[in-house]
Structure 1
Amino acid sequence: MTAPRILFYVQHLLGIGHLARASRIAQALIARGARVTLVTGGLPVTGFPPPGLDHIALPALQTAGEGFSGLADAHGDPATPELLDRRRDLLLATLHRAAPDIVITEAFPFGRRQMRFELLPLLEAIAVMRPKPILCCSLRDILQEKTKPGRDAETVDLVLAHYDRVLVHGDPAFARLGDTFPLADRIADRVVHTGLVAPPAPRPAAQGFDVVLSAGGGAVGEGLATAALAAAAELPDLRLCLITGPNLPAGPRQALAAGLNALPQGRLLVETFRPDFAALLAASRLSVSQAGYNTVCDVLQAGCRAILIPFATGGETEQTTRATRLAAKGWADILPESALDGPSLAAAIRQALAAPVPSRQGLDLDGAGRTADILYHLADHRLTEVS
C-alpha cells in the first residue's frame, strides 16, 4: 500500500515521558515507510524528536503550577490568549498542509484537558474534511484518577463523537484500560491494547554501574538528587551513577555540584542525559527511578533490579498504581516519595542488591511495532473505502 501520512500531536508539560513514547512510535512508523508529521507543544528536549520526520513545534507551553493546574509560556509567564490563538492557528494550518490519512492525539481526550482550546477546533476541522482522516488516541496503560465528577463521561462523549480507535499502550495481562478508567466498557469496540512501548532489547553498554539513579526529565528530580548524594556517602563499596535529566532546576543542580566536591572522587558519577539509557541499565545491577511509563519500560527491557519512587505530588496517582502492580508481582521494590532521604535510599539499595534478579517473562514489550501495524491496517482500510 501507499505509505500513509500521519499527523501525531503530543504535548509534554512537565516530564518528557509523553514525548519519548510518541517518538518511539513515530520511529516505528518511519521504519515502516510512513510519512510522519510530529506536532509538539512543550519546551525543547535534547534528543527529541527523532530524525526522519517532519517536526512542527508550536509556541511552547509548560505547566504553571503543581498538579498541572495552569499553563505558562517558555519563560514561565502565564500564557496569554494571543499565544493560545497562535498555537491553535498553526495546528490547524499544519493539519490542512499535511492532509493526513491518520491523526493521532496523544493522551487527549483522556488527559491534556488544558489543551482543549486547540484540540477541540482540531477535532471539528477533522470532522468536516473529505476524505476524513482516521482519528486515534494514543494512551498509556494506567491513567490518573479523576477527582472531578463528569470528566470520564465527557471523555466517552468525545471518543464516541470523533475517535475511530483508542490505542492503549499496555499489555492487558498487566493493566487494562478498565482498571483505571471506569467507563471503558462504553467504548470497548474502539479500544485496542498494543503492548508496552518499550525500546528494542538493548545490547549492554560497555561499562555499567552497581546502581543507576535516574530522575527522568529532571523537573521534579531534586529529592532524588539530594538523597543520592547522601546515600553515596554511605555506600563506599558501590559504583553509582546519577542521571539528573535536562530539566533539573538550576538551584538543585548547583547544590548537587557543591555536594559532589565533598565526596571522594569517582564515588558518584553525575550525567545530565544518556541516549543509551536502556543499554546502561542492561549493564548495571540496579535501577533507582520514578515509576513513569517510559522509565519502567526501559527497566523491564533491560532486565535489571529496580527500586521505584513514584511521583505522587499534587494528587498524582498513576505512578503509584504502576509501581504497586510491579511490586505485587515481585518485579520491583517501592520507596515512597515521602520517605526518600539518604539513609532510607542507602538501605533500600542494599536490600535490593541482596535479592535475586527478577524474571519478568511474558510481558508484551513490542507496543511500538504493534501500533505501527494497527495504523497501517487502518490506513489501508481507509484507502480502500475512499477508492
Structure 2
Amino acid sequence: MKVLIVVTHLLGVGHLARMAAVGRAMAAQGFDVTLASGGRPAGTVNTQGCRVIQLPPVHCLGSDFRTLYAAPGMIADAAYLATRRAALIDAFDDIRPDALITELYPFGRRSLRAEFDALLEHARAATPRPAILASVRDVLNPPSKPKRAEGALAKLGAFYDGVLFHGASGVVPLSASWPTPPALARRLIETGYVHDGERLASEAGTDGQDEIIVSGGGSAAGLPLARRAVEAAHLVPERHWRLLLGASVPADAFEALKTQAPANLIVERARPDFPALLARAALSVSQAGYNTVLDLAAANARAILVPFAEGQEQEQTLRAGELARRGLAFTLDAATLTAEALAQAVRAGLDAPRPDWSAIGRDGAARTVEQVGAAVARQQAASAAWNRLDAVLARACEAGRTLDFWWRDDDAVAPTPALEALLAARARWGVKLHLAVIPQRASPALAERLADEPDVEVLVHGWAHANHAPSPEKKAEFGAHRPLDAMLAEVRAGKARLGELFAGKLLPVFVPPWNRIAPELAQALPQAGFTALSIYKRRAPGAMPLRLNTHWDPINWRGGGGLADEAALLDQLVRLIEEELASDPGRLEPIGLLTHHLVHDGWIDRFLDELVGRLNGSGAARFVSLRQYLPI
C-alpha cells in the first residue's frame, strides 16, 4: 500500500515530527511511505523507513503565516511557489498512491492553498482515485471568521474521505477549537495522540537529573521564554537549569543567551534525547506544543506551560488551559511573563507532586495505520463498485435498452441555501426534479422561487409532516392508527393548498411522510383527486392507485445521517438496473432516486454529482417526468 504524506512546517518541526512518526509506523507495517516535506530540512526528525521528497522549502517569521520566505530575507514569489506545485504533482504521478494525506490543510496553511488545491484536483481525477485524508492535531487555531470554517468544510466535502484527528475527544475535543457540525463530526477519525515512541526516555546518561529543563520548540518563537528563563535562573540559584534552543534560533541570539547565563544554567541546542532529559528532570518549563506535551506525558513530568500566543495564535493557549483544568500542568501567560513570576512558579512546581498523565494515550500512530488501511479498503471497494455500475450500464446500452430514472426530493417548504444548491445541481445535470412539498408549511416565497424554474414539478408531501404514531411505533403521519376521514380531509387540504400555490407545477401524486401510509388511505386516494402514490420500495403488481415509488436513498439514516457506504449504494443501484434489464420494458416503474436537500452535506453532493454524471454519460439512462406515467 502506497501512501503520500504532504506536510509543511513553517516555524518549529512539530508538524513534520508528528507525520514522520506516522510514516515510520506505516513503514513498519509494510506500507510504502513517501513524505513530501515543504518546510526547511530538519535533521533532528527521524524519517527512517520513509522516502523523503524535499520540496523547495518555505518558512515564516513569528506568527505571520501569510508571508512565506524561501530563505532568510527572501520572500517566496509566485515562480518559487509554482515550482513547489509542480514538484508535488510530479511526486503524485511517480508514486500513484493508494492514500494521500495532507497535514493541517484545509484547516490551515491557507497561504499554500494553491499547491494543495492543485494536488487535490489532480488526485481526484486520478484512476483509480486514492483515499484522501486530512490530518490534524488535537487543537487547531480557531478560525478568525465563520467563512473560514465553512470554506474548510466545503473543501473537505469536495475532496476528502475523512479527517484523521490525532487527539482524544475525552481530553480535548476538536470542538474546543474548531466548529464541528454534524457533517464534519461524521467524518472525524479519532486516532488518539501520536507520540514518537522511539524517543522515549532511556536509562543511559545522567544529563537532566533533578534539573529544571527549559525548552521553546524548534523555532525562534521560543526566544522570549528563553530570555525570561535566563533571568529566572539567577533568582533560583540553588537549582540546576538547562535551556534547550531549537536549530532555527539564530547563532547570535544563542551566543547572547550563553553569555548571560548564570553558572547554574547550561545553554545548548535542542537534543534528540529530550524525552530522556524530561524523565530525569525535576521540572519542565516549556511552550504547549503538541509534541512537547506528549513528551511531558510520557515522562510523567511536572510542567509549567507558557503557551505561544503571538498574533492570532490560540492553539497552545487552548491546549494548556485544558491540561491545567485537569491538574496536569501550571500555566503562565507569555505576554505578561516576568522572571519573578517564572521563578515563583518554578518553586511552586518543584513542591507539587508529580501529576498522573496516564489519561493521555499515545498510541495514535499505530491506530492511524489501521484507519488509513481501512480508508484505502473503502475507497478501493467503491472504485470496484463504480466499475460494476459502468459495466451494467454498458450492458444496457449494448442491448438497446433505455433505463428510465426519476428524482424525488422531500421536505421542501421555503427557499433556503440548501434548496438553491439542489436547484443548481438540477441545472448542472440537466435533469427533471420532483419536489415533495409539505402543504401546511409551504411558503408563497417557495412558489415564487419555483415559478420560472424549468423541469421542476411539485408533489404533495403529506399535510404537516407531523408524527401521529404512538410510541414505540415507527413515525407516520398517515398510519393505520388515525381515522380515515380525518386523514382524507388533510390529504384534500394539502392538494388544494399546493394547487393554489404552484398551479401548473403540481402533479396529483401523494408522498406520505416517512414513506408510510395506511392501506385503506392508499386505496382511498383517488377520492381526494390523486392518481398516484409514491413511497419507498418496489411496487406490488396491480396495486392501486398507481405506484410511482423511489428505490434508492444515499443517506445513512440509521447511522445518524451523512452518506451511506458508497460501495453498498452503488451495488444497490446495480441490482435495480439488473432487475430492470431482466424484465420486459415498461413492466417495472422507473427507478426512483430519493434525496433530502435539507440534510445534505458535501459528501452526499459530491457522490450525487458523480453518479448522475455517469448515468447521463452512459447512453443508457434518462431522467423522466412522472407526467408521462400519469393518466392525466
TM-score range relative to shorter protein: over 0.9
User: Separation in 2 of the partners of 1:364 and 1:28?
Assistant: 16
- Letter matched to residue 252 of structure 2: G
Equivalent runs, 1:246-325 vs 2, <5 Å: 246-260=247-261, 263-264=262-263, 267-325=264-322
User: What is the TM-score of this pair, normalised by structure 1?
Assistant: 0.94
User: Separation in 2 of the partners of 1:307 and 1:159?
Assistant: 36
Which position in structure 1 is the counterpart of 2:141?
Answer: 144
User: Separation in 2 of the partners of 1:204 and 1:196?
Assistant: 24
Contact in 1 for aligned 2:62/2:310 (Cα 8 Å): no
Contact in 1 for aligned 2:194/2:363 (Cα 8 Å): yes
- Letter matched to residue 190 of structure 1: R
- Letter matched to residue 344 of structure 2: A
Answer yes or no: is 1:206 the counterpart of 2:211.
no
Which position in structure 2 is the counterpart of 1:108?
Answer: 105
Which position in structure 2 is the counterpart of 1:216?
Answer: 217
Answer yes or no: is 1:365 the counterpart of 2:362.
yes
User: Separation in 1 of the partners of 2:157 and 2:376?
Assistant: 20
Q: Please give the root-mean-square deviation of Cα atoms over the aligned residues, in Å.
A: 1.6
1:218–1:63 Cα change, 3 Å: closer
Q: Find the residue that maps to 2:74 and give its secondary structure.
A: coil
Residue correspondences, number: 380
Q: Find the residue that maps to 1:69 and give its secondary structure.
A: strand
Q: What CA deviation, in whole Å up to 9, does each residue of 1:201-250 have, x standing for no partner?
A: 53355323321111111311221221121122222221211111111123
User: Separation in 2 of the partners of 1:153 and 1:130?
Assistant: 29
Equivalent runs, 1:1-387 vs 2, <5 Å: 4-63=1-60, 66-200=63-197, 201-207=200-206, 208-209=208-209, 210-260=211-261, 263-264=262-263, 267-384=264-381
Contact in 1 for aligned 2:11/2:61 (Cα 8 Å): no
Contact in 2 for aligned 1:38/1:54 (Cα 8 Å): yes
Q: What CA deviation, in whole Å up to 9, does each residue of 1:287-318 have, x standing for no partner?
A: 11000111011101110100000101112111
State the Cα distance separating 1:384 from its structure 2 match. Answer: 4.9
State the Cα distance separating 1:184 from its structure 2 match. Answer: 3.5
Q: Find the residue that maps to 1:299 and give its secondary structure.
A: helix
Q: What CA deviation, in whole Å up to 9, does each residue of 1:101-139 have, x standing for no partner?
A: 000000000111111110101010011101000000010
State the Cα distance separating 1:259 from its structure 2 match. Answer: 1.1
State the Cα distance separating 1:15 from its structure 2 match. Answer: 1.5
Q: Find the residue that maps to 1:313 and give its secondary structure.
A: coil
User: Separation in 2 of the partners of 1:283 and 1:153?
Assistant: 46
Q: Find the residue that maps to 1:314 and give its secondary structure.
A: coil
- Letter matched to residue 291 of structure 1: A
Contact in 2 for aligned 1:46/1:246 (Cα 8 Å): no
- Letter matched to residue 52 of structure 1: G
State the Cα distance separating 1:49 from its structure 2 match. Answer: 4.8
User: Separation in 2 of the partners of 1:64 and 1:329?
Assistant: 33
Contact in 2 for aligned 1:223/1:340 (Cα 8 Å): no
User: Separation in 2 of the partners of 1:190 and 1:173?
Assistant: 17
Q: What CA deviation, in whole Å up to 9, does each residue of 1:77-104 have, x standing for no partner?
A: 1211110111100100000001100000
- Sequence identity (%): 39
Structure 1 residues not aligned, in runs of 5+: none
State the Cα distance separating 1:149 from its structure 2 match. Answer: 3.6
User: Separation in 2 of the partners of 1:206 and 1:256?
Assistant: 25
Bigger shift: residues 219-228 or 34-43: 219-228
Structure 2 residues not aligned, in runs of 5+: 385-632
State the Cα distance separating 1:386 from its structure 2 match. Answer: 5.2
Q: Find the residue that maps to 2:66 and give its secondary structure.
A: coil
Q: What CA deviation, in whole Å up to 9, does each residue of 1:168-191 have, x standing for no partner?
A: 000111112222221442222211
User: Separation in 2 of the partners of 1:364 and 1:165?
Assistant: 22
1:69–1:224 Cα change, 3 Å: same
User: Separation in 1 of the partners of 2:189 and 2:10?
Assistant: 26
Greater RCO, 1 or 2 (C-alpha within 8 Å, sep 6+): 1
Bigger shift: residues 245-254 or 150-159: 245-254
Q: Which runs of 4+ in 1 moved over 6 A?
A: none
User: Separation in 1 of the partners of 2:111 and 2:71?
Assistant: 16
Q: What CA deviation, in whole Å up to 9, does each residue of 1:245-289 have, x standing for no partner?
A: 1111233212112213xx23xx11222121111122111121110
State the Cα distance separating 1:64 from its structure 2 match. Answer: 5.1
User: Separation in 2 of the partners of 1:155 and 1:251?
Assistant: 40
Q: What CA deviation, in whole Å up to 9, does each residue of 1:48-86 have, x standing for no partner?
A: 251221111111111256431211112331211110111
Q: What CA deviation, in whole Å up to 9, does each residue of 1:136-162 have, x standing for no partner?
A: 001011111111341000010011111
Which position in structure 1 is the counterpart of 2:625?
Answer: none
Contact in 2 for aligned 1:330/1:358 (Cα 8 Å): yes
Contact in 1 for aligned 2:214/2:285 (Cα 8 Å): yes
- Letter matched to residue 347 of structure 2: R
- Letter matched to residue 293 of structure 2: V
1:64–1:327 Cα change, 3 Å: closer
User: Separation in 2 of the partners of 1:103 and 1:205?
Assistant: 39
Bigger shift: residues 200-209 or 140-149: 200-209
Bigger shift: residues 293-302 or 62-71: 62-71
Q: What CA deviation, in whole Å up to 9, does each residue of 1:318-377 have, x standing for no partner?
A: 100000110011000001102323222111110100011111222221111110111122
- Letter matched to residue 139 of structure 2: I
Which position in structure 1 is the counterpart of 2:387?
Answer: none
State the Cα distance separating 1:385 from its structure 2 match. Answer: 5.2
User: What is the TM-score of this pair, normalised by structure 2?
Assistant: 0.58
User: Separation in 2 of the partners of 1:113 and 1:281?
Assistant: 35
Bigger shift: residues 158-167 or 373-382: 373-382
Contact in 1 for aligned 2:11/2:62 (Cα 8 Å): no
